[in-house]
Structure 1
Amino acid sequence: MTRQEWTRVQARLHKLGFNPGPIDGLRGRLTLTAVRRFQRSRGLVADGIAGPITLAALFEGQSAPPPASIDAMPWFEEAQRLVGVTETPGPASTPTIMAMAEALDIDYSGDDVPWCGLFVGHCIAAALPDEGLPAVVLRARAWETFGQPCEPQVGAVMVFWRSSLASGKGHVGFYAGEDAGAYLILGGNQSDAVNTVRVGRDRFLAARWPLTALPPGGGTLLVDAGGALSTNEA
C-alpha cells in the first residue's frame, strides 16, 4: 500500500474511534494495533494486515472505494522504508540499528556485529507481531527453518551461504528480483548498509515465507540489473 493509501486507512480508523496515532501514512505500531482492534470489533482475524476483507469492512458504506492496493507484504514495505540506513564508522553505532535489537530484546553490542539477521528479524516482527522468529535471530543460517518453505518470489526471506557452504556462515535478506546470474536481495549489512545487491544463485540455500502472512503470491520479478555480485555482507 502507498503512503497515501495508508493515510486514508488511518483517517478512517480515527473516525471510527480506533486511534492509529499520527495520520502520516506510515504503518507504525499504533496503526497496526488500531487495525487489529478494528478487526476484532468486526469478528475478523486480528492479524493487523489490511487485506481485501478488512478494507471492505473498514470502508463499508463509504462513497469512495477502499484503497486498491492491499497490505500483502508489510514486512517488505518496512524493509523498503529502511533503505539507506548505514552503519556508523568507528566505535559508535547507528541508533536505528541499535533500536532494532532493543525492540527484539537482543543483547547486541554494536553494528560492527553482522546485522543482516537483525534487519530481517526487525522487519518481520514489526509487521507480523505474532510470527515466530528463529531462536538466534542474528545467525543468518538460522533463517533456513523460519516460517514455511516457498519458491523464490517478491518478499520471500532468502538465505545464502557465505565464505563457503561448510563454514556455517550465511547471509539473509528479502527477494526483490532476479536476473540470469543472481538474485536481487534487499537486506541489511550489505556493504554496511540497507540496500539492494546481486547475490549469486550458486550461494542460494532456502526461500521462506511467514506463517502468519497472506499466502505466498509475490511472484518472480525478472530484471536486467547487471553489475558485480555482492561480496561484502559481514
Structure 2
Amino acid sequence: MSTTFDQWVISRLLAHGAYAGAVDGAPGRKMIEALERFQRAEGLPVTGMANAATVEALRRTGPKSVPVAAPAVPAEPVWMREARRHMGLREIAGKGSNATIMSWAKRLGGWVAGFFTDDDIPWCGLAVAAWVAITLPKEALPSNPLGALNWRKFGVGLSTPALGAILVFTRSGGGHVGLYAGEDNTHFHVLGGNQSNSVSITRIEKGRLVAVRWPSTGGNPAGGRVHLSSKGVPVTRNEA
C-alpha cells in the first residue's frame, strides 16, 4: 500500500522528534501541533500547514545525509483530505446511528452534542464542521454549524471556487453545504455529507449556489476552478 502524504508527514515529524500523537496517518490536532513545533524549531513561518518549505525541511535527516524522498504536496487542503477519508460512510437506516457521525457531534460538544442524538437529523453541516474542526482547530465555526445556510458567513468569501472551498446551496426547505471538488458546465461536483445519506461526491446545480467560503486559518487557496466531466457522477437526489 502506498504511503499517503499525511502518513509521510507524520512519519517525518516523528523522525524529527516533533510528533507525539497516534500514528494513524490521519491529519488532526496532534499533526498541526507537531508541524507548528517543527516550524518554530526550524525558523519557518508557523502555520501548522505542511507547505513546500516545511516538506523540504522534513526531508532532511542530518547535515551529511541525503534528504529522503517526499511525495508532492497535495492540491487538496487538509480538511478535504480528512473528508475523503470518510467517502462511502453511510447513516444507519431506521433504528440506530452511525458511530462515526455521532462521534463528530460529540467532538464538537456543547449544545450540538446534546441536540444531535440521531443520524436521521440532517448532518451535512455537522460533517463539514467536523472536518474543519479536526484539521483547523483555531478556525471559528458558525454558532450553529448544523444549519447549512449559516455557513454563508463562515471564514472569508471567495469570488472563484478552489479545491476544498465550502459551497453553500439552497434547497427546498433549507440548505446544503459541502466541499468544492470541481465542476462541469452546469453543475458543481460536491464532496459532502448527507448526500443520499452518505459521504459522497455528487453534482449540484450551479443556480442553487449562494456562497463560496474559505477558512480564515486555511492558508491561501491553490489554483482555481477545476473542470471535470459529468460522466459517472450522479446528480444529487437527497441532501437531508
One fold, TM greater than 0.5? Answer: yes
1:125 aligns with 2:128: no
Equivalent residue, structure 1, for 2:100? 96
Equivalent residue, structure 1, for 2:142? 134
Deviations 1:74-131 (A, max 9, x none): 0010111110110011121100001111111122111111000000011111111111
Distance 1:230 1:205 in 2: 17
Q: Give ranges in structure 1 of 5+ residues lacking alignment.
A: none
Assess if the C-alpha contact under 8 Å between 1:187 and 1:195 holds in 2.
yes
Equivalent residue, structure 2, for 1:52? 52
Equivalent residue, structure 1, for 2:177? 172
Assess if the C-alpha contact under 8 Å between 1:20 and 1:33 holds in 2.
no
Equivalent residue, structure 2, for 1:161? 170
Residue 68 of structure 1: how far off its partner (Å): 4.5
Letter in 1 for 2:96: A
Q: 1:113 to 1:199 in 2, by over 3 A?
A: same
Distance 1:116 1:82 in 2: 13
Distance 1:27 1:124 in 2: 11
Equivalent residue, structure 2, for 1:188? 193
Residue 10 of structure 1: how far off its partner (Å): 2.2
Q: 1:17 to 1:65 in 2, by over 3 A?
A: closer
Pick which of 209-218 and 12-21 moved more: 12-21
Distance 2:127 2:83 in 1: 8
Equivalent residue, structure 2, for 1:69? 72
Residue 44 of structure 1: how far off its partner (Å): 3.6
Assess if the C-alpha contact under 8 Å between 2:108 and 2:130 holds in 1.
yes
Count of matched residue positions in the alignment of Structure 1 and Structure 2 = 229
Distance 1:66 1:55 in 2: 10
Q: 1:81 to 1:218 in 2, by over 3 A?
A: farther
Counterpart among 56, 78, 83 of residue 79 in structure 1:
83
Assess if the C-alpha contact under 8 Å between 2:5 and 2:73 holds in 1.
no
Q: 1:43 to 1:64 in 2, by over 3 A?
A: closer
Residue 12 of structure 1: how far off its partner (Å): 2.3
Q: 1:119 to 1:3 in 2, by over 3 A?
A: farther
Q: Give ranges in structure 2 of 5+ residues lacking alignment.
A: none
Distance 2:199 2:38 in 1: 33
Sequence identity percentage: 39
Residue 147 of structure 1: how far off its partner (Å): 0.7
Letter in 2 for 1:229: V
Residue 20 of structure 1: how far off its partner (Å): 4.3
Distance 2:134 2:168 in 1: 20
Letter in 1 for 2:134: A
Counterpart among 197, 215, 218 of residue 213 in structure 1:
218
Assess if the C-alpha contact under 8 Å between 1:59 and 1:65 holds in 2.
yes
Distance 1:109 1:212 in 2: 30
Pick which of 68-77 and 145-154 moved more: 68-77
Give me the TM-score of the superposition, normalised by structure 2. Answer: 0.87
1:232 aligns with 2:235: no
Structure 1 SS opposite 2:176 = strand
Structure 2 SS opposite 1:96 = helix
Structure 1 SS opposite 2:82 = helix
Letter in 1 for 2:66: S
Structure 2 SS opposite 1:193 = coil
Deviations 1:109-160 (A, max 9, x none): 1111100000001111111111111110000000001111111222110000
Pick which of 104-113 and 117-126 moved more: 104-113
